[in-house]
């Protein structure tokens, strides 16, 4: 049990890439951090002090375990969740198939991970988020608004996530609710989207974190879809 004045965050998909970079930065800023990933054996060492809950965001029992981890951080009357980051995501098959060929089971999996799991976690944590006047940060993509061949399953899932974000913002004016397009990042997911290509010119995920931190800290930026590139160097 730690100080109740500390802000609390849940970051999904923090095993690597953007989720890990953001969780690491929030930890070093004094946040109480709860994270997950399916492969999480390395996270106790990578994120010392964080609460690590191994599992899959699409599974209800795992989401229950995340809720228990967050509520275990404080006495009942002092529980809070200041920030929910829905970052865990499924790209679908690699190489990216056209809609003519994409297996429906793969599309279903993408939607379960990128749309239904963030909605389920939002529902689960809304009481704590409301009590904390918290922030929901849904990690989106330019593929939500651009029609790239091969990106139909993933892109349409992120478009749905953007719309969930917009509607949640309208329904919950006490919360800040954002979907953020982080831009290209040099990660495993990006490599899977461009198999065999040299992606070394893409920025590291750590480069996106300062813009996200400014957005989280501002509390004044209007809810909705934002591009991290548009936040870079601004005070929001
Ligand atoms: N990289 C880019 O260029 C780019 C561009 C635009 C948007 N984005 C978005 O940015 C976010 C982060 O992407 P990234 O590139 O950092 O991805 P990444 O390197 O592939 O990392 C994704 C993380 O999510 C975890 N994860 C995946 N599915 C999960 C599940 N079902 N349950 C729990 N954890 C799960 C992964 O760990 P396990 O596999 O061990 O579970 C991993 O830790 C995603 O929302 C992505 O769509 C990325």
**76 Cα to the center of ligand 1, angstroms:** 32
pLDDT the model gives residue 235: 54
pLDDT the model gives residue 56: 99
pLDDT the model gives residue 1: 45
pLDDT the model gives residue 232: 75
Residue 16, ligand 1, Cβ within 6 A: yes
Residue 141, ligand 1, Cβ within 6 A: yes
Only one residue has tokens 């699409």, namely 58
**229 Cα to the center of ligand 1, angstroms:** 19
* Range 63-68, long-range pairs (CB < 8 A, 24+ positions): 63/117, 63/120, 63/121, 63/124, 66/10, 66/12, 66/34, 66/36, 66/121, 66/124, 67/124, 67/125
pTM of the shown model: 0.97
Residue 87, ligand 1, Cβ within 6 A: yes
Residue 189, ligand 1, Cβ within 6 A: yes
Residue 188, ligand 1, Cβ within 6 A: yes
Helices of type H across 9-116? 17-28, 43-46, 60-71, 104-111
Residues in the chain predicted with pLDDT less than 50, given as ranges, are 1-2
Residues in CB range of 124: below 8 A, 6 or more apart: 63, 66, 67
């Amino acid at each position: 049990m730690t100080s109740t004045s500390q802000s609390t965050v849940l970051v999904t998909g923090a095993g690597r890439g953007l989720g890990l970079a953001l969780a690491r930065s929030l930890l070093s800023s004094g946040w109480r951090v709860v994270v997950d990933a399916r492969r999480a054996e390395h996270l106790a060492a990578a994120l010392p002090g964080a609460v690590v809950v191994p599992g899959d965001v699409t599974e209800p029992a795992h989401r229950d375990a995340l809720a228990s981890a967050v509520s275990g951080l404080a006495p009942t009357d002092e529980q809070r969740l200041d920030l929910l980051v829905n970052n865990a995501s499924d790209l679908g098959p690699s190489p990216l198939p056209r809609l003519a060929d994409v297996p429906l089971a793969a599309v279903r999996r993408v939607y379960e991970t990128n749309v239904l799991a963030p909605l389920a976690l939002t529902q689960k944590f809304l009481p704590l988020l409301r009590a904390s006047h918290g922030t929901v940060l849904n990690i989106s993509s330019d593929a939500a608004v651009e029609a790239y061949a091969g990106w139909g399953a993933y892109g349409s899932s992120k478009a749905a996530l953007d719309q969930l974000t917009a509607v949640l913002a309208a329904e919950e004016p006490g919360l800040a609710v954002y979907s953020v397009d982080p831009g290209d990042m040099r990660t495993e997911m990006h490599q899977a989207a461009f198999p065999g290509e040299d992606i070394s010119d893409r920025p590291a995920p750590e480069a996106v974190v300062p813009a996200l931190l400014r957005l989280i800290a501002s509390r004044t930026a209007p809810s909705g879809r934002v591009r991290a590139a548009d936040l870079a160097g601004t005070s929001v």
